[in-house]
Structure 1
């Protein structure tokens, strides 16, 4: 009796399993390519800008200070890594290359330009980093405060960089 129930039960399960395992696919109305083509055609017809760069997003102080902060950080990291790897790979030691640069008798304009190139990113990134730390503490998110702190960082960067370039 138990064997009969088992055989009948298996047959019923196999029939139901084949019923449940059948593919049920909804008809595809369009492909992803066709959907995107319709989307872009609609936007062209409505004369919407296809790229928001400099059309929708007008440059403003917060955007530019953030961009400059990121660029100075990446530039300093690349410079430190590049100079370090170069100095490790070159034969000789640091005093040798320092004497080599001194022997070139570079003019003051070139020296001041190099000092500016070195001083600006460090100064700006440091001062704007303090501004970012204030934001992390929840201070300075008001629009007026944001603009005041942005102009203050730019002015202080100019003063400190000038001091580094001409007085140190």
Structure 2
């Protein structure tokens, strides 16, 4: 048997103080902390913000959430809903520019039974996908290999968002 050594992944599985408190909503605490680089918040709008997923399915997996703590998309005001979708467009354009994916999965998991990790605060997932991006690791070893460090993706995606916004 061969071992896959990835010690840098310990940052993902070792609970940090704020991650250990499961009663706190990351979509409320992280933007309030005003430490965007540490919390991987790549973009802030008036009603919504965009942040990388700490446990990504693929490189570039991000989430867009309203600042307002609501459990369902049905509770968003029209201006917030419009901004959520505008940020989704911005994210897709920036991810295409940066990573050239072949497609995307976009989704909102409403409710715990639907898979929402933070069911009380709605958020939109955007996951870049590539043709042939599956391999034997998830099937055989129940392991997903993410090839790029989250901090690198953060820096590159922030630049790509700014480039897209500049035109």
TM-score range, shorter chain: under 0.3
**TM-score, scaled to structure 2:** 0.25
Kindly indicate which of the two structures has a greater share of residues assigned to strand. 2
* Structure possessing the higher radius of gyration over alpha carbons: 1
Task: Using structure 1 for the length normalisation, give the TM-score.
Answer: 0.25
Structure richer in helix, relative to its length:
1
